[in-house]
Each structure stands twice: as structure tokens, then as C-alpha cells.
Chains A and B, each alone.
Chain A
Amino acid sequence: GEDVEQSLFLSVREGDSSVINCTYTDSSSTYLYWYKQEPGAGLQLLTYIFSNMDMKQDQRLTVLLNKKDKHLSLRIADTQTGDSAIYFCAEKLGSGAGSYQLTFGKGTKLSVIP
């Protein structure tokens, strides 16, 4: 079945690193995504990782993928107050034509304490 799990809340101090974790159940996932939702706005794609990769780094963001444990994490270095948002993990299943649906987790609300 398809299920993406995340913890609902995370609180960190400004300047520290944040690590948001996600687990998924479907081993046929081909791409895994992190989306950011700021207050009052829609979701924006932050980054994604292909399932044959272990790590992807993009400036302050590091994505780690443990395919054996079906665990995905997003690390935000030097967390700023502007990083306060809800972060959604999502998976894409399959690679055939028409497999465009993403399954989203419930979102992790990151609060950054000044």
C-alpha cells in the first residue's frame, strides 16, 4: 500500500540544523520529494531525489535516502526564521506513462525559535 509518515511538529533554535524525517512504505517509489508550505500559501517544491541516489545536496538543504529502511530525511543547515513552514514529504510511484500522482505525508510543522 501507499503510505507516507512524518512527525507533525519540530522546533529548533535559529542557527541550529533541522532534520525532518519521513518514512514510506512502497518500495516501487521512483522519486521522493520535499515540499514547503509557508503560511497562507500553496506548496512549493524544495527538492527531490531519485530512488537510486543516497544523498542530494542543494545549498543549505541535504536530502538523505535510506532505501533499505524506506527512510527519507531533509536537513536544513543554519536554520533561519524564514524556514518556519510546513514541510511535506511525497513519493511518486512507478515510471510508466500516467504515473503522475504523488502521495503526500501529513506534513511536519517546523517552528524556528529566534
Chain B
Amino acid sequence: EAQVTQNPRYLITVTGKKLTVTCSQNMNHEYMSWYRQDPGLGLRQIYYSMNVEVTDKGDVPEGYKVSRKEKRNFPLILESPSPNQTSLYFCASTSTSGRAVEQFFGPGTRLTVL
């Protein structure tokens, strides 16, 4: 089954404690993204990756890092989380084989930073 998995699904942490949210896809997609979803603000892209070792900033990259060492995985790293990073995070993997571009989303990670 084609899917995007994220872990953990829920996380409560404290300010300054480094954390990583993992994302994995089994569709051999080259393009992957991270979004955060906040009430009234919709989805905002944090980082994206066009392929292995190729990453770039999205609309709200401050306070986040990513890496893309292999095609299937695209972890999101918060080196020093702060309360304003409390949010719902989605990883997405994008099919680029056709012109339409379909994004497949993970189930989300709800992060609370105290």
C-alpha cells in the first residue's frame, strides 16, 4: 500500500530539547515536503526536497532543519524547540510522473512545546 508514515503521531516536549520527527514514503518519490498547520493560517510549507541531498526553504523555515540522505526518508529536526512551534505537522510526498502533481500526506504529528 502506497503511504507516507510519520513518527511520532503525538509529542509533548519542553523548550530547548532537540527533537526529530521522522517521515518515510514507499512510493519512490523524489519530491517531499514538510508543512505546519495552524488554526486560521492553513498549511504553510516549512522545507522541501527535490531529491537526495537537495533541500530548500519553504515559507516558514526558521527554527527547523531537514535532511535527505536517502530517497524514502525526510526527517524534520527542531534543534531548540520553542512554544511557537506548537503545531500540527504534515509530511508530504509528491508524485511528479504526470503533469498534475499529486501530493500524498502523512497522518500528521501533533507537537506541543511547553
Please count the residue pairs between chain A and chain B whose beta carbons lie under 8 angstroms apart in the complex. 53
Contact indicator B102/A45 (Cβ below 8 Å): yes
The interface residues of chain A lying within 8 Å CB-to-CB of B102 are: 45, 48
A101 near B48: Cβ-Cβ < 8 Å: yes
B105 touches A42 (CB 8 A): yes
Q: Is B41 within 8 A of A100, CB to CB?
A: no
What CA separation (Å) do A85 and B43 show in the bound complex?
15
| Residues from 23 to 42 in B contacting A, C-beta threshold 8 Å | 31, 33, 40-42
Q: Which of A84-113 touch B at CB < 8 Å?
A: 88, 92, 95, 98-102, 104-107
Contacts of A8 in B (CB 8 A): 40
Interface residues of B in 1-48 (CB under 8 A from A): 4, 31, 33, 40-43, 45, 48
On whether the beta carbons of A31 and B101 are closer than 8 Å, the reply is yes
Residues of A within 8 A of B101 (CB): 31, 92, 99-100, 102
Q: Contacts of A41 on B, CB cut-off 8 Å?
A: 107-108
Consensus secondary structure, chain B interface: strand
Closest CB in chain A relative to B9 CB, distance in Å: 9
Q: Which residues of A contact B4 (CB under 8 A)?
A: 42
Which residues from chain A contact B96 at a C-beta distance below 8 Å? Answer: 100
Contact-size category for A: 20 to 34
- A18 CB to nearest B CB, Å: 19
The verdict on A77 contacting chain B, using a C-beta distance below 8 Å, is no
Is A43 at the interface (CB under 8 A from chain B)?
yes
Q: Is the CB of B42 within 8 A of A106?
A: yes
Contact A107 B100 (CB under 8 A): no
Tell whether A107 pairs with B42 under 8 Å between CB atoms, given A31-B99, A92-B101: yes
A-B contact pairs, 15 of them (CB 8 A): A30-B99, A31-B101, A42-B105, A42-B107, A43-B92, A43-B103, A43-B105, A45-B103, A50-B100, A88-B43, A98-B50, A99-B101, A100-B48, A100-B94, A100-B96
